[in-house]
Structure 1
Amino acid sequence: MRQTSLVPEFVVTVPEKLEPGKLYVSTRFRTASHLCACGCGNKVVTPLKPAKWHLTVENGLVSLSPSIGSWQLPCKSHYWITKNKVVWSRVFSEDEIKEVLERDAKDLHDYYADRQASRAKRKILARLWAWLRHK
């Protein structure tokens, strides 16, 4: 049965068997998991990371962004989770799905490349600072 809302349940680890209509949030493992809102029964896992999904909690209501595009699943569901509500989006064409997946892969690559460059800069600055202190 198609879901119109998901009730958040904050857990340490996500249970092996998920219940329909629940969004399991593990802050420890930085994931939010649920059964696909279309009712197909497939598990959807959203990593809560800057280059992936962001979880917002306001007065017990949760929102996930960006949207959930279950394009690897047969149902190809596409929806938003906004303040516990499932907001259905339009169906994407195969070309649009490919474009989104390519953009997501590029964003992920760019995010980690920026992090690596920032780490390298910090390391150089730390060495320079240590050298200057010992002069």
Structure 2
Amino acid sequence: MRHKRLDHRFVEHIPERLEPGILYVSMEYATSAHSCCCGCGEEVVAPFTPTDWKMTFDGETISLRPSIGNWTLKCRSHYVIHRGKVIEAGPWSDEQVEAERRRDRAAKAHFYGQTPKVEPSVQPTSVKAESGFWRRVWDWVSGRS
């Protein structure tokens, strides 16, 4: 990793040009962005949502969880940002990346009350999707429940 540490800046809007070594945090838009820590210069965006990244500010430093896996970038860098330090994580195989993408899609579908899209060849025979809160409210309001 080229950058072993990221300083942070709280901003309203993420700037057009990201300064290397800076983690930009927009609480207004619940997101962060930084220049990839490997030094390739690619922009890395980590949105804060219940199914994406969590940001912790301890008054001095910032941590992001889970790790940053840049699987769509040429560098395929993988690291954790913990208390402003960049900790290199091991590379992932294509199978690990695909498994994480499936887990991420399922987590989003579950959280937002949608039935996840599953390949027909691997679709379970007895899956009952649990409705999310807003889906249950909508069904109740529209008289479907």
Partner residue in 2 for 1:19: 19
Q: How does 1:1-80 map to 2 (within 5 A)?
A: 2-80=2-80
One-letter amino acid of the structure 1 residue matched with residue 103 of structure 2 = R
Deviations 1:32-88 (A, max 9, x none): 000000000000001111110000000221000000000000000000000000011
Alpha-carbon distance between aligned partners in 2 of 1:30 and 1:116, rounded to the nearest angstrom? 26
Structure having the higher Rg: 1
Gaps of 5+ in 1: 127-135
State the identity as a percent. Answer: 37
- Give the aligned residue type for 2:133: S
Q: Which residue of 2 aligns with 1:83?
A: 83
Q: 1:113 to 1:8 in 2, by over 3 A?
A: same
More helix by proportion, 1 or 2?
Answer: 1
CA distance in 1, matches of 2:20, 2:76: 18
TM-score where L is the length of structure 1: 0.86
State the one-letter code of the partner of 1:79.
Answer: Y
Q: Which residue of 2 aligns with 1:111?
A: 111
Corresponding residue number in structure 2 for 1:133: none
